[in-house]
Structures are given as C-alpha cells and as structure tokens.
C-alpha cells in the first residue's frame, strides 16, 4: 500500500461512498490496515494466497471494498465467494431494497484457464444475486472490451470478458457508457482494463463516469482511478450528531426553568433515598 497518502486524499477529494481497491498487495495479517486509511470508512478485504517460501515484505494481488459508515443502508459482506480475487457487499434499506457491489481483481497472467475460472465465479455470483437486486461489478478485470485495445491486450481473455458482459447485458466504459477523461485506465499500454460494469437499470441512475488523468492525483500505481456517480437515493447518508428539536432557551420563563429543575432533581432524590435504604439494610 505505497499509495496510502494519495488514497486518503482521493477519498477526501471525491467524497466517494464506495471504493474498490484492486491489487492492494497486503498480506493476510496486514488487512486491518485498510480500515485506518481514512476516518469514516469500514472495509471488507481479502489477501491473495502466497506460495510456500515467499519472503517479500508485501503480498500479492488482493481485493478490498471500503464503504462509508454514514450510509443509510445496512451493509453486509457476501461471504459465500470462493475466491481470494472477488469480494462483495450487499447494501440494503427499506426505500431502495438491495444493491450488490462486487469488487474484482482478475488474473493478470497469460493462463486463459485461470482467467475463465475466476470469471466463471463472477458469472455465477451475478446470475444469482441479480435476481434479488441490481449488481455493480468494479475493479481491474485484466482484459479489455474495446476494439482499439486488441493489439495490446490478451485477445482470449478479452473475448471471455466480452461474452460475460454480453450474456448479462452489462454496459461498460468506451461502449454505451461515455467517459470523461482518457479512454484508457492502464497507463503502460494505454488500454482499458479497469471497469465499473452495470445493467441498464443502474445506467439510468448514472450521473457521470470519469477516468482521472495522469497527474490529477499523486500515485505510484500504473492504473488510473475510475470514478462513477450513481444517484439511487435522495439522502443516502445518516445525519450524524443531530437532534430533531432543541429547547428555545431564550423563550423560557422562570417558572418553566424551576419546573425543569424539579423534573431533573426528582429522579436524583429517588436514587439517594434508595441508596440510603440499601446502606441502612446492610448496616
């Protein structure tokens, strides 16, 4: 997590409710660190399994979802995901129902079988949970849906990803979703590997979709941040430390103040009497 300071600044600047982090490279014992990056966020996270004899100070891969503690949704981790590369949460409230968000970091190696295996897990999750609510998939999918990227990306993996989005009628940046900013997210090859996928229903709630340009935030990553805003609730946050009604003290009469004091003192007098009777009994 060499980009901790910029991630903290990014969370403050964008004021984002949900943040998916692909490839955090933390070991299992260090996952708690993700919850300390910025106040007001909780986190669910996974670390990639490491081979025997791996001695580097950092881990490999990893996926995490940070979410604001002030959201007016109950937030629950989807625990039945048999993958260290995919994490999920369910956001639920009475007015909206359920929204499922899956974060993914799909394999970056050249093995098409490894890629298909992880994509199949994501496929099964989407098939099941989309019955109960809208689903959003976000993260580094390590393949491109765009024709322009074919010369610079793994065509076999890209074909599998395109089959997946077509099968579930998912919309993606550079396709139906118009992008503000660069038309790539992976700086080295200028290809689109990072996506926020959604269905038509969520697309209608999409206010904007932006890929932040190089230099907009200070980062050691070779991937650009992707930001999207979906408007799903008029007030998605709890108002913290608030009170519906406060006394108008400037309008209070002396008689009302004395009555208020009496109401405060009566319970105290009752407690004192009980304490006295208790000590008398003990004596």
**Beta pairing, strands 134-140 & 18-22:** unpaired
Beta-bridge partner residues of 74: 92
Q: Does domain 4-230 have CATH number 3.40.250.10?
A: no
For the stretch 151-173, pLDDT in tens is 999 999 999 999 999 999 999 99
Is there a contact between 91 and 135 (Cβ–Cβ < 8 Å)?
Answer: no
Q: Provide the phi-psi class of 190: left if phi over 0, else alpha when psi is between -120 and 50, else beta.
A: left
What pLDDT score does 3 carry? 67
202: number of CA atoms within 13 Å, CB side? 23
pLDDT at 207: 96
* Matching residue, tokens 């935030």: 217
Q: Residue 67 half-sphere exposure, CB side, CA atoms within 13 Å?
A: 23
Spell out the domain ranges in the chain: 4-230, 249-282
pLDDT band at 283 (very low <50, low <70, confident <90, very high): very low
Looking at residue 5, what is its pLDDT?
A: 79
Q: Is the pLDDT of residue 104 over 90?
A: yes
Nearest CA among 91, 74, 193 for reference residue 136: 91
The per-residue b/e assignment along 65-75, b for 16 or more CB within 10 angstroms, e otherwise, is bbbbeebebeb
What is d(CA 217, CA 18) in angstroms, rounded to the nearest whole number? 18
Which residues are 36's β-sheet partners? none
Give Cα 189 to chain centroid, integer Å: 27
* Separation of alpha carbons 137 and 112, rounded Å: 20
Per-residue model confidence as pLDDT tens digits over 122-159: 999 999 999 999 999 999 999 999 999 999 999 999 99
Q: Where residue 279 falls among pLDDT bands split at 50, 70, 90?
A: very low
Are the C-beta atoms of residues 136 and 116 closer than 8 Å to each other? Answer: no
Comparing CA positions, the residue from 138, 141, 186 lying closest to residue 160 is 141
Instruction: Note the pTM of the prediction, 2 decimals.
Output: 0.80
The whole-number average pLDDT for the span 60-69 is 90
pLDDT, one tens digit per residue, over 185-241 is 999 999 999 999 999 999 999 999 999 998 777 667 899 999 999 998 656 665 444
């Amino acid at each position: 997590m060499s980009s901790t300071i910029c991630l903290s600044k990014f969370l403050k600047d964008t004021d984002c409710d949900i943040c998916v982090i692909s490839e955090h490279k933390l070991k299992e014992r260090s996952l708690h660190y993700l919850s300390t990056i910025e106040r007001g966020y909780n986190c669910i996270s996974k670390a990639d399994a490491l081979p025997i004899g791996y001695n580097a100070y950092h881990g490999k891969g990893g996926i995490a979802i940070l979410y604001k503690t002030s959201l007016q949704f109950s937030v629950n981790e989807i625990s039945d995901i048999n993958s260290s590369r995919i994490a999920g949460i369910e956001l639920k409230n009475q007015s909206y129902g359920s929204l499922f968000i899956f974060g993914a970091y799909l394999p970056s190696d050249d093995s098409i079988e490894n890629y298909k295996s992880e994509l199949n897990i994501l496929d099964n999750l989407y098939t099941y949970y989309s019955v109960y609510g809208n689903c959003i998939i976000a993260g580094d999918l390590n393949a491109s849906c765009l024709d322009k990227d074919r010369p610079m990306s793994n065509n076999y993996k890209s074909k599998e990803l395109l089959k997946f989005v077509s099968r579930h009628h998912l919309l993606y940046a550079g396709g139906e979703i118009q992008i503000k900013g660069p038309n790539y997210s992976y700086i080295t090859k200028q290809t689109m590997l990072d996506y926020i996928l959604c269905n038509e229903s969520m697309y209608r709630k999409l206010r904007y979709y932006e890929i932040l340009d190089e230099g907009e935030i200070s980062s050691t990553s070779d991937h650009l941040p992707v930001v999207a805003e979906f408007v799903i609730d008029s007030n998605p946050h709890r108002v913290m430390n608030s009170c519906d009604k406060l006394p108008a003290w400037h309008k209070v009469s002396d008689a009302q103040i004395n009555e208020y004091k009496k109401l405060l003192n009566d319970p105290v007098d009752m407690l004192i009497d009980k304490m006295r009777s208790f000590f008398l009994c003990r004596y």
